[in-house]
Amino acid sequence: MLKNIDDNAEMQSKELQREISELRDELRSAIDRVSSRTKALEDRVESLDTRITRTSLPLSNEQLKKRMNNY
């Protein structure tokens, strides 16, 4: 009887370890996707910032507000 209990506990332990491993893999994958998206957004912001600084005629606050309202 104790052998059955030990075997059952060992099977449950292995199953839990497998589930934990799968969850870790899912978490790593999610973190990689978020990191990739963050990098893409940072690059986009940098690109837009560069375009703004290269603009020969700076826009006034009112002009910026009008442009933002058009989107």
Per-residue pLDDT of the chain (71 residues; tens, 9 = 90+): 777 888 899 999 999 999 999 999 999 999 999 999 999 999 999 998 888 777 656 667 777 778 788 76
Q: Please state the domain count of the chain.
A: 1
| Per-residue pLDDT at 56 | 54
- Residue 28 CA: distances (Å) to CA of 11, 33, 41, 70: 26, 9, 20, 40
| Domain coverage including residue 35 | 2-69
Q: Rg of the chain's alpha carbons, rounded to an integer?
A: 27
